[in-house]
Structure 1
Amino acid sequence: MTASTLARRGLGVTVVERSGDTGRTGAALSVPEGLLERITGLRSEQLPRTLAPGVQSWFAVHTALHAAAAADLGIHFRENTRVVEVGQDTDAAWAVTAEGERIHADILVGADGHRSVTRRHVAPDKSDARYAGQVLWIGVAEESAIGSRGWPASVAFQHGAGYTLIGYPLPGADGSTAPGARRLGWALYDSSRDDVLRGSGALVGSVVQHTLTAPEIPEHTFEELARDARRAFSGTWRDAMVDSIRRRAVIGTPVAEYVPDRLVRGRVALVGDAAHVANPMTGRGFAESLLDAESLGAALSSNPGRGDRTRALLHYELDRLDAVREFVRSGR
C-alpha cells in the first residue's frame, strides 16, 4: 500500500521483502470501502472481486495489492531479501541485508511488522511490542467440507469454555460468494496457554517472537482445542473449527501491543504494524495502515524536494502519532 501510494506521487520505490511466499492460514482483514481505488488509482471496474469491501482473506488482499504494485514501473521488488539493520546519515538512509549488501535511498520506510527491525533504529529505547496475555488461534474452513446448514450472514461473536470466538464468513479463493464456494474464518482468543508459547519460543519474557505454525503446536493442544470447540460452540462455527483442527490448518498468533512515542527519526519512518500494534479485536489494523500510507504520501507530495524529505516525514508523524496512540489504547 505504501509503495503504491508513493509511486503514484512520482517517487521511485524499492520494496525489500523478506518472504517470497505469500501463503497465510486463516488470517483475515476488514477491507475499507474504496481501498484499491484510493491506493492505486484504478477504476472500480478494474478491481478484482477479492478487493470488495468487507472481510476478506489476507492472502486474497495481498495478492491483489501485490499485482497492482508489480504493474507499476515506479516500483522495484527485491523479494527473499532479509534486512538485518537500517541506518542513515545527513545524505541518505540505507538497509543492510543478511548478505551484507547496503541499499541506499533518500528515505527508508519500515513496514516490517510487529517485530520491526526498523523500529529498533527509530525508537531504540522502546523497540519491542509486548505480549498482551492472549494467543489467537486462527483457521479457515471450506463450505464444501462443512456444508451450508445455518450459513452465517455476518461476523459473529460468541463466548464459551473460557474462550472468545470471532467468526467471519469469507468469499471463496476466487472471490465468489456463491453457495458451495464460500469459506468460514474463525479466530479464538485464548488466555490459558502461555506455557505453549514459551515452550515453543514464540514468547520470550514479555516479547512476542513469532506466530506458531502447525508443526510447532503440541498434539495435546490440538486435541484440547477440538474438545473445547465441540463442548463450547455449536452449528457451523463448531464445524469450521473442528475441520480446521482436524486438518492441522491452524496457526497461533500471540496478541501483542505497541503504543508508539514516535514514528520518525530523520530519514526513517514507520508505518503499519511496525508503527503501532493493537489488539486484533479492534478490527481496524488494516484500515489504520492504509491511513498511514496515505498520510505519508500526502506529506511527501507537500514537500517534494529532496532536501525537504525529513521535514515531510515530521509532517507525517504530526498527522498520525496521536491518532495511532489512541487506536492502540482503544484495543485494551
Structure 2
Amino acid sequence: MNTPPAARGPAPGTAVVVGAGVAGLATALGLRRAGWRVTVLERRTRLERYGTAFGIHPAAQAALDRLGAQVGDVLRRRSVPYRRAEIRTPDGSRLARLPLERIEKKAGRPELLVSRPYVIDALVQALRSWGDVPLRLGEPAGDIAALRAAHDLVVGADGINSAVRTATFGTRSRPRRAGTVAWIGTAGFESPVHGETWGRGRFFGLTPVEPGRTNWYATAPEATTADELRALFAGWHDPVPRILEETDPAGWIRYEIRHLHPALPSFVREGRVALVGDAAHAMTPNLGQGACTALLDAEALTRAVARNGGPEGLTAALRDYDAERRRAAQRVAFASRTLHRLMTTRHTRTRDTLLRCLP
C-alpha cells in the first residue's frame, strides 16, 4: 500500500505534469510520494503504448525502486535479462561484444529489456493506486503561463516537441533531423543471436523482449516502403531477412530520427518550471538510453523536491536537480549522437577495424 510520508514542515505544494509518457508518469509518482498534490495532463486521448523494447540499465532500475518498489518489482517480473550481444558485419562476422557482462558485474544486476506497454502500465497502476492523482487524457497544456499561475511547480514531460520548453525557453533549442529514418517492430519468434549489425549507411538491431518474441529495429535512409526495406537487408546474415519476411508490416513503425539541439543551458527556469525526459534532452536512440535518462530525471527531480520541503524550497530543489542531471543527461545525448554517426557512416573499413580492437 502507498502511504504518504508523515507531514513535516510546510504544507505540500501543487504540481502539474505535462505529458504522460515514462518521464511524466514517473515524475508524477515521485511527487505524489513526496506528499505533493499532482495533476497530469496528456494531449493525446490515449496513452502511448506503441513501440517495442526498453533497455533498463541497473542505475535506472534503482531509480525505479526509489520511486516505488512495486513498480520495479512489476517490471522485473515482465522483463528479460540482457546478458550477451554482439556487433556484426552484414555477413555475420563478429566485430565486437557489447559490454553487458561488465555492466552486470559492476552493478550486481543485469540490464533488463521490457516491452514499453508494461512500463507504462506499471507506472499508471502505481499512480492510480493513490486514488487522488488526476490523469487527464485529451487535455493539452494550453496556456503555460496560466499553469504556472495555478500551480507551484510545472513539469514539462511533453517530449521532443515540448510546449513547456518552447514557452519557457524559446525556440533556440529545438528538434533537429539526424538525417536517418528508423523502423521498429516485433517478431513472433526468438532470434538465435542478439545485438547489432552495422553495414554501409544502415544497421539492424535484435534484442529479446519476452519469451517467444524478438524486438528489432533498423535504419535505412533510402527505404520508404516495407518492400524496399526488405530488399536492402535481403543479403544480410540470418535471421535478419527472415524477421522482415515473417513479420507483418502493418505492425511496423517508421519514424524520422530527431534530437534536441543545441543543448539547453538549464533544465529549470525561475524556480517554478522543470523539464524532464525528451523535453529536456531528446536524443537519438543509438545508446538505448531514452527511457533510462527519463527515469533518472524523474527520480532526481522528485528527490530534490522532497529534500527541500514545500513550495518555499523549490528554487533550491530545482537548482539541485539541474546540477545533478543536466550535464549527465547531455553527455549521454552527445554520446548517442556520436554513435549514430559512427553506425551510419559509409566509410566502414576504419570503423570496423577499430571495433575489432575492442576487448
TM-score, structure 2 normalization: 0.70
State the Cα distance separating 1:133 from its structure 2 match: 1.2
2:121 paired with 1:93: no
**Kindly tell me: are residues 292 and 25 of structure 1, through their superposed partners in 2, closer, same or farther at Cα, counting changes over 3 Å?**
closer
* 1:141-160 to 2 correspondences below 5 Å: 141-143=187-189, 151-152=192-193, 155-160=194-199
1:4 pairs with one of 26, 29, 43: 29
Q: Distance in 2 between matches of 1:87 and 1:316?
A: 22
Q: Distance in 1 between matches of 2:77 and 2:291?
A: 18
Note if contact 2:196-2:206 (Cα within 8 Å) is conserved in structure 1.
Answer: yes
2:38 paired with 1:13: yes
Higher relative contact order (CA 8 A, sep 6+): 2
Structure 1 stretch 310-319 or stretch 279-288: which is displaced more?
Answer: 310-319
Q: Distance in 2 between matches of 1:19 and 1:125?
A: 23
Aligned residues: 276
Match of 1:198 in 2: none
Match of 1:271 in 2: 276
**Kindly tell me: are residues 137 and 315 of structure 1, through their superposed partners in 2, closer, same or farther at Cα, counting changes over 3 Å?**
same
Note if contact 1:25-1:138 (Cα within 8 Å) is conserved in structure 2.
Answer: no
Q: Distance in 1 between matches of 2:48 and 2:226?
A: 22
2:66 paired with 1:38: yes
Q: Distance in 2 between matches of 1:6 and 1:250?
A: 35
1:243 pairs with one of 242, 246, 261: 246
Note if contact 1:110-1:119 (Cα within 8 Å) is conserved in structure 2.
Answer: yes
Q: Distance in 2 between matches of 1:162 and 1:309?
A: 47
Match of 1:56 in 2: 114
Match of 1:167 in 2: 206
1:283 pairs with one of 278, 284, 288: 288
2:329 pairs with one of 305, 324, 328: 324
Structure 1 stretch 294-303 or stretch 69-78: which is displaced more?
Answer: 69-78
User: 1:112-135 CA deviation, whole Å, 9 max, x = no partner?
Assistant: 111111110231042412111111
User: 1:126-166 CA deviation, whole Å, 9 max, x = no partner?
Assistant: 241211111111111212xxxx5x633xx311134642111
Q: Distance in 1 between matches of 2:188 and 2:310?
A: 51
Note if contact 1:51-1:61 (Cα within 8 Å) is conserved in structure 2.
Answer: no
Match of 2:300 in 1: 295
Q: Distance in 1 between matches of 2:112 and 2:181?
A: 24
Percent identical: 29
State the Cα distance separating 1:24 from its structure 2 match: 4.1
* 1:224-239 to 2 correspondences below 5 Å: 224-231=228-235, 233-239=236-242
Q: Which amino acid aligns with 2:148?
A: A
The secondary structure found in structure 2 opposite 1:55 is strand
Structure 1 stretch 248-257 or stretch 17-26: which is displaced more?
Answer: 17-26
Note if contact 2:75-2:114 (Cα within 8 Å) is conserved in structure 1.
Answer: no
**Kindly tell me: are residues 167 and 6 of structure 1, through their superposed partners in 2, closer, same or farther at Cα, counting changes over 3 Å?**
same
Note if contact 1:123-1:262 (Cα within 8 Å) is conserved in structure 2.
Answer: no
Match of 2:254 in 1: 252
**Kindly tell me: are residues 13 and 131 of structure 1, through their superposed partners in 2, closer, same or farther at Cα, counting changes over 3 Å?**
same
State the Cα distance separating 1:243 from its structure 2 match: 2.7
2:162 paired with 1:116: yes
Structure 1 stretch 264-273 or stretch 71-80: which is displaced more?
Answer: 71-80
**Kindly tell me: are residues 223 and 62 of structure 1, through their superposed partners in 2, closer, same or farther at Cα, counting changes over 3 Å?**
same
Q: Distance in 2 between matches of 1:272 and 1:45?
A: 22
State the Cα distance separating 1:23 from its structure 2 match: 5.3
State the Cα distance separating 1:43 from its structure 2 match: 8.2
Note if contact 2:160-2:282 (Cα within 8 Å) is conserved in structure 1.
Answer: yes
Gaps of 5+ in 2: 1-25, 81-110, 339-359
The secondary structure found in structure 2 opposite 1:317 is helix
Q: Which amino acid aligns with 1:50?
A: R
The secondary structure found in structure 2 opposite 1:135 is strand
Note if contact 2:46-2:137 (Cα within 8 Å) is conserved in structure 1.
Answer: no
Q: Distance in 2 between matches of 1:44 and 1:272?
A: 19
User: 1:286-307 CA deviation, whole Å, 9 max, x = no partner?
Assistant: 1111111111112111221322
Q: Distance in 1 between matches of 2:266 and 2:187?
A: 40
State the Cα distance separating 1:229 from its structure 2 match: 2.6
Q: Distance in 2 between matches of 1:298 and 1:127?
A: 27
State the Cα distance separating 1:46 from its structure 2 match: 5.9
**Kindly tell me: are residues 18 and 305 of structure 1, through their superposed partners in 2, closer, same or farther at Cα, counting changes over 3 Å?**
same
Q: Distance in 2 between matches of 1:260 and 1:289?
A: 16
